């Protein structure tokens, strides 16, 4: 979604970003706590043995489609269309500039994303909607909900572990349910085409397989709690600059082999009840009134049975949007007009939108509500007092620990030596907390932010929020060394102190958020100079990064070690301390390429212009790279990145060998061995890449597996390569075609580090639009 989005709302109703999010921020609630695995789903509803005669759709033995058809027969047109129109659910008294013609829905949950009224006479429940992908978010207000935050989406993708992603999804879905919500606007997965994108932290990286698998499992976890998850932002919402106007041009083939393939895989795994269409245009049409995206690809080719909801402020018409496949206008009054209120009823009555289409819109919403369990497992108000925050904090912590990437390590520097007598920590408020990303996904910390908002106290995507989990305190609890902290604002003082310390930990941060893109890939506020000076003073300098995505590192050769911690969530400080001290062996691998400079990217200059007005129509050319996103672009161009996709070191060493592969079914099966050749237990991410002719790039990620191996032991692993990853898509016939010939199968630890390559012959195959 959503929130007080400058770009969503501003171009329509307000003039500037400053008019958004100008709500008074404050925090207060229970103290922070910690603990372990996933919460159990909410208690199962009692299965009805005597179904009311007047409500046959409450028969739980029937499938969702049958139940939706039964209730649809009893609904008036007005009732059907009521389900297609949602309201923003935040009281306007907190806004500096109230929304015109907006009335807060009395039954909506305060300071939340949205509300869609149900129909009591038929037992159709209300839809209470909450942001977002890292937990139960709150619109900015004096008394925000304080809930458990997962690490950022890109951090979860860096785990390369579907089980961790699903456990995290189950946890935040449970907190949503117990907070009174039955729709969670989570499932973000736009591929990382633009390294400066302000929302990269919410998404799953640059590869369609990895992003699709990780996001699919998160959505699956959310929906295990009878909470609808929304796959978003469909599609090609690759930057925040001009996001409401930008027209991204891309061919059907390139789209199907990149971003759309990611959505397709996630949909197959997660089975989300809803898809959220994006703000931007694609090939000339807004995503929320794009027949190709919504009717042709999503609903016809993939057979999606759920409903399409708009992003908040992404609806632009009534008949065009409804006929092109939009089923629900969300978050009124972010849009210019209440298109799906009275205007939609008028359009149906005069035939511009057919009765069949009106029925289809309502049926899709009802189908999702039956399928996910909103009828049979109704939310029961706010039960937040029953949330086990200690247990949930541990789930978040596990995610953070598995997603942290050891990018560089001088032997003997990390894990931190137990003989060190003095450790200096510099920068990024590491004495009190860890950073989070900004915007509608903001989960407010239990106990409040330990750092006053230093960036935008009255503006979206702020406030710049920190979670009160101190890396410094975590390290102090695990070492006998004297640990001191400097804020790093005085570079000379930091360098002088560094000379006297045995080890220096410099915490670098890059705050990113919805509605704004990063100006470049450098750490802001002179942090590069700080790191350079400290490293010059002490070679035993470790840099810990908290960033929303890739950054450049002009100081890389001068520091001893680098850890990418991303935005590590509620227990992030504890997770960082455990990784740095060796209590946890790092096992994260990059879900995105870190370029050496912007000159290596498809668009060194960001497309668009923040100064353009709401009625502009800027153009973007995604056909430059087409389906060759991320590492595929680097392979195609022969560029050497700063760090390649899939890269990640460990405190132990691994040997990958014994690769075999052969066609199996319509795809390919590969088997291999992973041996731990070091002295400590660890987890390796074994990656299988495939290479064929006539593709968008020299190779594609075909499969992956995270494997835990004890010292001196070996594990045998088998993986399957999806046939779509061996094929090219033909738009004319709507088929996936595998050409006959020899294919390279590569066993690797990153896109640039290939351990073994073999050749396999595959016969020609033609697969249908679903790759079957």
Residue 386 to residue 506: CA distance in whole angstroms: 39
The answer to whether the CB of 317 falls within 8 A of the CB of 274 is: no
Q: What is the pLDDT of residue 31?
A: 30
Residues in the chain predicted with pLDDT less than 70, given as ranges, are 1-49, 92-102, 454-458
Burial class (CB in 10 A: 0-12, 13-18, 19+), 262: buried
Residue 42 to residue 470: CA distance in whole angstroms: 32
Residue 442 to residue 185: CA distance in whole angstroms: 12
Residue 482 to residue 238: CA distance in whole angstroms: 45
Nearest Cα neighbor of 268 from 295, 238, 305 is 305
Q: Quickly count: other Cβ atoms within 10 Å of residue 442's Cβ.
A: 30
And the tokens for 108? 């909506």
Residue 183 to residue 369: CA distance in whole angstroms: 9
Q: What is the pLDDT of residue 497?
A: 98
Sign of CA dihedral 544, 550, 552, 558: positive
And the tokens for 497? 């102190």
The answer to whether the CB of 189 falls within 8 A of the CB of 266 is: yes
Sign of CA dihedral 199, 204, 209, 215: negative
Residue spans of beta strands (DSSP E) within 641-699: 654-664, 667-676, 682-691
Name the strand (E) or helix (H) holding 504. Answer: strand 503-509
Paired strand residues for 522: none
Residue 214 to residue 2: CA distance in whole angstroms: 22
Residue 313 to residue 352: CA distance in whole angstroms: 23
And the tokens for 732? 């004319």
And the tokens for 269? 């795994």
Q: What is the pLDDT of residue 22?
A: 32
Q: What is the pLDDT of residue 381?
A: 87
The answer to whether the CB of 504 falls within 8 A of the CB of 540 is: yes
Name the strand (E) or helix (H) holding 470. Answer: none
The backbone torsions φ and ψ at residue 56, rounded to the nearest 5 degrees and listed phi first, read: -65, -20
Q: How many helices (H) and strands (E) does the chain have?
A: 18, 30
The answer to whether the CB of 168 falls within 8 A of the CB of 221 is: yes
Residue 36 to residue 388: CA distance in whole angstroms: 10
Decide: helix, strand or coil at residue 359.
helix
* Residue entry with tokens 């088997």: 671
Decide: helix, strand or coil at residue 138.
coil
What's the residue count for the chain? Answer: 772
Q: What is the pLDDT of residue 481?
A: 97
Q: What is the pLDDT of residue 603?
A: 97
Q: What is the pLDDT of residue 452?
A: 85
Residue 686 to residue 160: CA distance in whole angstroms: 10
Q: Which residues contact 733 (CB under 8 A, 6 or more apart)?
A: none
The pTM score is: 0.93
Decide: helix, strand or coil at residue 81.
helix
- Name the pairing type of β-strands 619-621 and 247-249: parallel
Residue 53, CA distances (Å) to 58, 64, 287, 376, 719 in order: 9, 18, 42, 17, 50
């Amino acid at each position: 979604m959503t929130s007080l989005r400058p770009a969503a709302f501003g171009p329509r109703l307000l003039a500037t970003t400053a008019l958004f999010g100008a709500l008074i921020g404050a925090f207060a609630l229970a103290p922070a706590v910690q603990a372990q695995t996933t919460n159990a789903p909410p208690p199962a509803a009692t299965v009805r043995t005597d179904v009311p005669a007047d409500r046959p759709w409450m028969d739980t033995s029937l499938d969702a489609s049958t139940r939706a058809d039964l209730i649809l027969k009893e609904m008036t047109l007005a009732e059907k269309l009521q389900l297609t129109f949602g309201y923003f659910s935040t009281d306007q008294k907190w806004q500096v500039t109230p929304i015109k013609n907006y009335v807060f829905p009395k039954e909506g949950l305060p300071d939340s994303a949205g509300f869609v009224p149900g129909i009591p006479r038929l037992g159709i429940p209300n839809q209470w909607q909450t942001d977002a992908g890292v937990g139960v978010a709150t619109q900015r207000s004096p008394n925000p909900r304080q809930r458990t935050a997962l690490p950022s989406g890109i951090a979860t993708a860096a785990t390369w572990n579907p089980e961790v992603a699903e456990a995290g999804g189950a946890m935040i879905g449970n907190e949503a349910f117990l907070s009174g919500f039955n729709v969670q606007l989570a499932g973000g997965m736009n591929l990382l085409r633009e390294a400066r994108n302000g929302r990269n932290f919410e998404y799953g990286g640059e590869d369609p397989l990895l992003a699709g698998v990780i996001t699919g499992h998160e959505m699956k976890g959310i929906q295990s709690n009878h909470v609808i998850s929304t796959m978003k932002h469909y599609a090609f919402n690759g930057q925040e600059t001009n996001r409401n106007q930008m027209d991204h041009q891309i061919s059907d083939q390139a789209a199907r082999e990149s971003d759309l393939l990611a959505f397709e895989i996630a949909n197959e795994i997660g089975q989300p009840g809803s898809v959220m269409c994006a703000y931007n245009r694609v090939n000339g049409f807004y995503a929320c009134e794009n027949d190709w995206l919504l009717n042709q690809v999503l609903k016809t080719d993939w057979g999606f049975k759920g409903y399409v909801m708009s992003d908040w402020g992404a609806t632009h018409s009534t008949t065009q949007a409804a006929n092109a496949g939009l089923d629900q206008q969300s978050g009124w009054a972010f849009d210019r007009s209440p298109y799906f209120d009275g205007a939609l009823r008028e359009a149906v009555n005069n035939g511009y939108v057919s009765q069949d289409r009106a029925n289809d819109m309502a049926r899709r919403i009802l189908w999702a509500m039956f399928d996910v369990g909103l009828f049979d497992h109704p939310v029961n108000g706010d039960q937040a007092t029953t949330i086990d925050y200690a247990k949930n904090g541990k789930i978040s912590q596990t995610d953070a620990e598995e997603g942290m990437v050891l990018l560089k390590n001088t032997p003997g520097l990390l894990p931190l030596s137990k003989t060190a007598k003095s450790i200096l920590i510099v920068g990024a408020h590491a004495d009190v907390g860890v950073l989070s990303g900004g915007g509608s996904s903001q989960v407010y910390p239990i106990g409040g932010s330990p750092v006053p908002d230093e960036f935008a106290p009255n503006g979206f995507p702020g406030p710049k929020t920190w979670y009160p989990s101190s890396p410094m305190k975590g390290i102090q609890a695990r070492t006998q060394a004297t640990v001191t902290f400097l804020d790093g604002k005085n570079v000379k003082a930091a360098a002088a102190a560094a000379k006297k310390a045995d080890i220096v930990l410099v915490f670098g941060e890059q705050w990113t958020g919805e509605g704004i893109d990063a100006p470049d890939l450098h750490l802001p506020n002179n942090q590069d100079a700080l790191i350079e000076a400290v490293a010059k003073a002490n070679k035993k300098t470790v840099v810990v990064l908290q960033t929303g995505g890739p950054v450049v590192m002009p100081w890389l050769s001068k520091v001893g070690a680098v850890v990418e911690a991303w935005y590590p969530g509620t227990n992030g400080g504890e997770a960082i301390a455990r990784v740095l001290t060796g209590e946890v062996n790092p096992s994260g691998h990059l879900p995105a390429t870190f370029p050496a400079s912007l000159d290596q990217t498809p668009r060194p200059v960001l497309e668009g212009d923040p100064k353009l007005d709401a009625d502009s129509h800027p153009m973007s050319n995604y056909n430059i790279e087409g389906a060759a996103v991320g590492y595929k672009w680097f392979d195609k161009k022969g560029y050497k990145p700063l760090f390649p996709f899939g890269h990640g070191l460990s405190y132990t060493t691994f040997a990958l060998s014994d690769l075999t592969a052969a066609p199996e079914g319509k795809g390919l099966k590969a088997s291999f061995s992973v041996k731990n050749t070091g002295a400590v237990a660890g987890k390796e991410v074994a990656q299988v890449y495939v290479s064929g002719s006539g593709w968008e790039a020299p190779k594609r990620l075909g499969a992956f597996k995270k494997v835990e191996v004890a010292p001196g032991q070996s594990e045998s692993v088998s993986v399957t390569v999806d046939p779509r990853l061996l094929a090219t898509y033909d738009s004319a016939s709507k088929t996936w075609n595998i050409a006959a010939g020899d294919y390279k199968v590569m066993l690797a630890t990153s896109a640039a580090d290939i351990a073994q390559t073999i050749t396999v012959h595959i016969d020609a195959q033609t697969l249908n639009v679903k790759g079957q």
